[in-house]
Amino acid sequence: MNVLILAAGYATRLYPLTQNKAKPLLEVAGKPMIEWVMDNLAPVANLETIYLVTNNKFAESFQDWANGYTKRHPGLKFKIVNDGSTSDSDKLGAIGDINLVITREELADKDLIIVAGDNLFSEPLTNFVTQAKGSKATLATYDVGDLEAIKKYANITIDADGVITQFEEKPAKPHSTLAGIALYYFSKETLPLVTTYLAAGNNPDQPGRLIQWLYTRTPVKTFQIRGTWFDIGSKETLEEANQIFQRFVR
């Protein structure tokens, strides 16, 4: 299978920190956010190519990072994909970027793991991939443990088999504390539906919107991530993550 890391956003809410450095390259507990992603993906068996989609502003920076990471992990193969955008005003959006990479790199013949480059995980993602294999699509979830906190995320309701029965972005009245996070597994049979979604004129940004559209058309399974997961959306949460993830430094 292949991997696609989403890293083409401009993270304007974190300015000035992200004016000249991509958000996934900001350090948390001594290493770039994207390394928290990769260090927990690296143990997954049979990864072919790790595609990283970014923008024209930061493509060179990500290539430099990938070159250094590959020297330390020679078994991994990276390819940086430049989506051509230069600012927040002309970005393709996360779903637009997913479709760009699938089309340009001809990835529709293999299953695909998609993950946001600014996700922080404390534990390897091997169990997620093992469970997701054989499904049409699988969404990673995380229990935020608080009905107020879930209002910032996508709220998920599942059946006894872990299949999504309800998906609501930033709910005013959440049904549970289970959040959908930006880690996905799509089978090769499901990947063409990304183009179908966009062709219907749907919003090309925020990948959760794709899941919200998809689960009513094909079964989307879930897998609950254990350990600690963190979503950084502000300078305050960046500082909080720095403190929390110090204890996971290996």
pLDDT 10s digits, 94-134? 999 999 999 999 999 999 999 999 989 999 999 999 999 99
Determine the residue type at 239. Answer: E
Q: Which two tokens stand for residue 247?
A: 């204890």
Strands (E), the chain: 2-6, 27-28, 31-32, 50-54, 78-82, 112-116, 119-121, 137-143, 154-158, 164-169, 178-186, 221-224, 229-231
- Rounded to two decimals, the pTM is 0.95
Which region among 61-65, 77-81, 171-175, 198-202 has the lowest average model confidence (pLDDT)? 171-175
With pLDDT > 70 as the criterion, what percentage of the chain qualifies? 100
Which pLDDT does position 231 carry in this prediction?
Answer: 85
pLDDT 10s digits, 139-177? 999 999 889 989 989 999 999 999 999 999 888 998 889
pLDDT 10s digits, 44-73? 988 999 999 999 999 999 999 999 999 999
Other beta carbons within 10 angstroms of residue 103's beta carbon come to 12
